């Protein structure tokens, strides 16, 4: 399919803060003649959530830097509540963006509806796949269970109390990958280690995350892995105040607590976005793809700062296990059913 921008050299984008439903920002010129226009819509965590939305936007900016502003114009709209998803999508459709990217599974239903309403519009969603993949939605999926497994190995090796914990945002198939990958890693490295799991039912309530983490610390937990979007910063604050260890998610969160964050599981979103936008520029793009990012492909992994907090012998062990995941020798579960089949209850 040829994109509108590739066959028309006269389209101009005019963005006015007064007409946007969500808060937005553009990293391109207002005149986008001859460019591909890619718009990103955040979930309610916002673009500065120190987590997934932020890493997705940074990935899109990195793509623009790599491909050049003369070829790619990027912009985002923030969603402050779930009801913003639909109007934000429609805003980008109205502004004739070539590709509209939704961040996270919470946008899945609205994107699917929009894909039906605008069959000539191309969409992508980060970290969600559909049971029946729409022809004009590309899914960028991340095997977060694999990087979470490595985080579990580290947590189980670093704990001094034999008590670690996982805090999740809202229970879902996406979050299951984080939880059960982490569970499997903890059990593999230290079968005697006690694991506590708690969900917040929120990706934005950092106060609740801090309260939950504080209670876990009081109960003897000394390492907490949190996958809860912007809410996760509360658990990191607790680790900092209580002098405990924390594991970050999606981006390198070590700047939030340099002495306490021992590692972060990474989603290298830019790897997928560069390839996706490259296909558009080369007119080789096909909608309806499911692009799976794995440890082997470099799509997921651990932050470089892990080496500053984890000893060489533990790192060597983790790297050895990572190699086994890449080769297929170790299969990491994505959910409870797989966990019970692979690891056992």
CATH number at residue 135: 3.40.50.2300
User: In this structure, are 206 and 335 located in the same domain?
Assistant: yes
The b-or-e profile of 15-30 (16+ CB within 10 A means b, else e) is beeeebbbebeeebee
Cα–Cα distance measured from residue 248 to residue 136, given in angstroms and rounded to the nearest whole number: 33
Residue 258 in domain:
yes
Residue 36 in domain:
yes
Residue 305 in domain:
no
User: In this structure, are 82 and 216 located in the same domain?
Assistant: no
Report the DSSP pairing between strands 137-142 and 122-126: parallel
Residue 49 in domain:
yes
**Domain range spanning residue 24?**
4-142+268-293
User: In this structure, are 242 and 196 located in the same domain?
Assistant: yes
- For 205, the 3-state DSSP assignment is coil
User: In this structure, are 153 and 174 located in the same domain?
Assistant: yes
User: In this structure, are 116 and 197 located in the same domain?
Assistant: no
pLDDT tens for the chain, 345 residues: list them. 444 433 332 223 322 333 334 555 555 443 445 688 999 999 887 888 777 788 788 888 988 888 889 989 999 999 988 999 999 999 999 999 999 999 988 999 999 999 999 999 999 999 899 999 999 999 999 999 999 999 999 999 999 999 999 999 999 999 999 999 999 999 999 999 999 999 999 998 999 999 999 999 999 999 999 999 889 999 999 999 999 999 999 889 999 999 999 999 998 877 777 778 878 878 888 889 999 999 999 999 999 999 999 999 999 999 999 999 999 999 999 999 999 999 986
Residue 199 in domain:
yes
- Percentages helix, strand, coil for the chain (3-state, rounded to 5) are 45, 20, 35
User: In this structure, are 150 and 137 located in the same domain?
Assistant: no
User: In this structure, are 157 and 49 located in the same domain?
Assistant: no
At 26 the pLDDT is 54
What kind and span of H or E run contains 26?
strand 24-26
Half-sphere exposure of 21 (CA within 13 A, CB side): 18
User: In this structure, are 190 and 326 located in the same domain?
Assistant: yes
At 278 the pLDDT is 79
User: In this structure, are 273 and 128 located in the same domain?
Assistant: yes
| Per-residue tokens: 70 | 């003369």
| CA angle in degrees (0–180, nearest 5) for 34-289-69 | 25
| Per-residue tokens: 109 | 């239903």
Structural domains in the chain (count)? 2
CA distances from 126 to 138, 167, 168 (A): 9, 21, 18
Residue 238 in domain:
yes
Q: What is the pTM of this model?
A: 0.82
Residue 19 in domain:
yes
- For 38, the 3-state DSSP assignment is strand
Residue 302 in domain:
no
User: In this structure, are 213 and 227 located in the same domain?
Assistant: yes
User: In this structure, are 211 and 278 located in the same domain?
Assistant: no
| Per-residue tokens: 60 | 């899109």
User: In this structure, are 280 and 243 located in the same domain?
Assistant: no
- Please list, in sequence order, all residues whose beta carbon lies within 8 angstroms of the beta carbon of residue 130, skipping any fewer than 6 positions away: 108, 112, 137, 139
Residue at token pair 């921008």: 5
């Amino acid at each position: 399919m040829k994109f509108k921008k590739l066959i028309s050299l006269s389209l101009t984008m005019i963005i006015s803060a007064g007409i946007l439903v969500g808060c937005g920002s553009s990293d391109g010129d207002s005149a986008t003649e001859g460019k591909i226009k890619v718009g990103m819509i955040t979930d309610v965590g916002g673009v500065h959530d120190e987590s997934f939305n932020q890493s997705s936007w940074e990935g899109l900016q990195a793509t623009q830097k790599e491909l050049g502003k003369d070829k790619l114009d990027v912009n985002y709209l923030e969603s402050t509540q779930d009801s913003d998803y639909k109007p934000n999508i429609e805003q980008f459709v109205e502004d004739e963006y070539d590709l509209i990217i939704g961040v996270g599974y919470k946008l899945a239903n609205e994107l699917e509806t929009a894909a039906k309403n605008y069959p000539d519009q191309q969409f992508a969603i980060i970290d969600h796949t559909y049971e029946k993949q729409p022809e004009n939605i590309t899914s960028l999926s991340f095997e977060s269970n694999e990087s979470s497994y490595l985080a579990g190995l580290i947590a189980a090796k670093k704990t001094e109390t034999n008590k670690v914990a996982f805090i999740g945002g809202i229970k879902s198939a996406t979050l299951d990958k984080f939880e059960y990958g982490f569970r499997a890693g903890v059990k593999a490295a230290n079968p005697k280690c006690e694991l506590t799991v708690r969900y917040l039912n929120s990706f934005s309530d950092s106060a609740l995350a801090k309260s939950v983490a504080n209670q876990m610390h009081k109960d003897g937990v000394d390492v907490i892995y949190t996958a809860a979007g912007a809410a996760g910063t509360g658990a990191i604050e607790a680790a900092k105040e209580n002098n405990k260890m924390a594991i970050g998610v999606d981006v390198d969160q070590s700047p939030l607590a340099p002495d306490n964050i021992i590692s972060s599981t990474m989603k290298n979103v830019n790897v997928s976005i560069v390839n996706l936008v490259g296909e558009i520029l080369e007119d080789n793009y096909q909608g309806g793809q499911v692009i799976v990012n794995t440890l082997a492909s470099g799509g997921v992994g651990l932050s470089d700062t892990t080496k500053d907090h984890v000893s060489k012998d533990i790192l060597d062990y983790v790297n050895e296990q990572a190699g086994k995941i890449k080769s297929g020798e170790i299969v990491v579960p994505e959910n409870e059913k797989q966990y019970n089949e692979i690891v056992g209850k």
